[in-house]
């Protein structure tokens, strides 16, 4: 029933022929092409679905739930990988008072996030910023953060290197939340490797949670809300292209979850104390 909701979007809007094929194989959160870094129109559809700067189903409320085991407060600093267009960073800083330098690997997203944070005002900028990082060579200040949140970043590079760098960046006794989309055989291998990597670094793995069903429900809830808002309107060709492309990505995600080809997992671990 859920996938038929988004399927109706393809009959409701006509995709312009000049737009080209819909990309169907994106396993992670829909990716913003690294182009036109000054063009925030690329984010119009995801902003409408999940909230400004959010690219994860459920938006701010869901990110707060995923990070809840960290017990974040104004006394804490947070290493956040996968900052996207800056929505989560802004929320953690403004709602919880956390000092959070968000890290984003996509330069287009990072540029947009920086501009949005600047528009949010100087007060927020004291606790929130956007930094670039490379999945090919992850490096963060040693023992520089109380906690860490990694949002769908492990498939972009070497998970051993990324997790190792993140663990070294967290103060002894701090906690890590790792949320990752696992798609296909590579995803299954990645999912199996996360506990082993954490154990190799002496981390105490406390929570292993399959978020797949909830993730799919949040996708469908977001699109139901979007469809209600669009009743009685007709998008322009450019808007229709963005709408259908975004719907296609999430349609494939929910189908893969339903058919067992995709999972969304969350791990929570405690970084070991120094000997």
CATH of the domain at 154: 3.40.50.150
Hey, is 182 helix, strand or coil? strand
- Give, to the nearest 10 degrees, the angle between helix 107-120 and helix 87-96: 30
CA distance 247 to 235: 14
pLDDT confidence band for 67 (50 / 70 / 90): very high
- Asked whether the predicted pLDDT for residue 90 surpasses 90, the reply is yes
Is 260 a domain residue? Answer: yes
Residues pairing with 101 in the sheet: 129
- State pTM to two decimals: 0.85
Q: Which tens digits make up the pLDDT trace of 103-149? A: 999 998 999 999 888 888 878 888 999 999 999 999 999 999 999 99
Q: Are 168 and 148 in contact (CB under 8 A)?
A: no
Q: Which tens digits make up the pLDDT trace of 7-39? A: 555 555 443 333 333 233 333 444 443 343 446
Q: How many domains does the chain have?
A: 1
CA distance 2 to 158: 34
CA distance 6 to 201: 43
Find where tokens 């296609």 sit. Answer: 248
CA distance 99 to 243: 35
Is 275 a domain residue? Answer: no
pLDDT at 229: 84
Burial (CB count <10 Å: 0-12, 13-18, 19+), residue 31: middle
User: Domain span at residue 193?
Assistant: 2-270
Buried b or exposed e, range 170-187, using 16+ CB within 10 angstroms: bbeebbbbbbbbbbeeeb
Strands 262-270 and 204-210: antiparallel
Is 212 a domain residue? Answer: yes
Hey, is 164 helix, strand or coil? helix
- Please give the share of the chain, as a percent, with pLDDT higher than 70: 85
* Beta strand residue intervals within 37-183, DSSP E: 78-81, 100-104, 128-132, 145-151, 170-183
Q: Which tens digits make up the pLDDT trace of 174-218? A: 999 999 999 999 999 999 999 999 999 999 999 999 999 999 999
- Please give the share of the chain, as a percent, with pLDDT higher than 90: 67
pLDDT at 125: 80
Half-sphere exposure of 30 (CA within 13 A, CB side): 29
CA distance 107 to 129: 14
Residue 137 gets which letter from DSSP? S
pLDDT confidence band for 5 (50 / 70 / 90): low
Is 86 a domain residue? Answer: yes
CA distance 66 to 179: 8
Is 60 a domain residue? Answer: yes
**Residue 86's Cα: distance from chain center in Å?**
10
CA distance 103 to 238: 30
Phi, psi at 180, each rounded to 5°? -145, 135
């Amino acid at each position: 029933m859920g996938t038929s909701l988004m399927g109706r979007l393809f009959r409701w809007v006509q995709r312009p022929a000049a737009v080209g094929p819909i990309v169907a194989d994106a396993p992670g959160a829909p990716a913003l092409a690294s182009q036109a870094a000054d063009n925030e129109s690329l984010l119009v559809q995801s902003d409408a679905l999940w909230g400004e700067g959010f690219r994860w189903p459920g938006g701010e409320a869901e990110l707060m739930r995923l990070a809840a085991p960290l017990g974040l407060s104004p006394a804490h600093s947070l290493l956040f990988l996968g900052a996207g267009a800056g929505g989560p960073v802004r929320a953690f800083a403004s709602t919880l008072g956390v000092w959070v330098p968000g890290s984003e690997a996509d330069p287009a997203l990072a540029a947009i996030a920086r501009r949005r944070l600047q528009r949010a005002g100087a007060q927020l900028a004291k606790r929130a910023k956007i930094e670039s990082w490379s999945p090919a060579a992850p490096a963060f200040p040693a023992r520089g953060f109380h906690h860490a949140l990694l949002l769908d970043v492990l498939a972009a590079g070497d998970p051993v290197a990324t997790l190792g760098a993140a663990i070294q960046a967290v103060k002894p006794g701090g906690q890590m939340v790792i949320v990752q989309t696992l798609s296909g055989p590579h995803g299954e291998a990645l999912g199996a490797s996360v506990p082993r990597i954490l154990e190799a670094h002496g981390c105490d793995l406390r929570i292993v949670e399959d978020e797949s069903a909830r993730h799919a429900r949040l996708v469908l809830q977001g699109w139901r809300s979007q469809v209600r808002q669009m009743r009685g309107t007709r998008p322009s060709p450019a808007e229709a292209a963005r709408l259908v492309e975004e719907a296609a990505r999430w349609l494939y995600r929910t189908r893969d979850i339903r058919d067992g080809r995709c999972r969304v997992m969350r791990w929570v671990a405690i970084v070991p104390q120094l000997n």
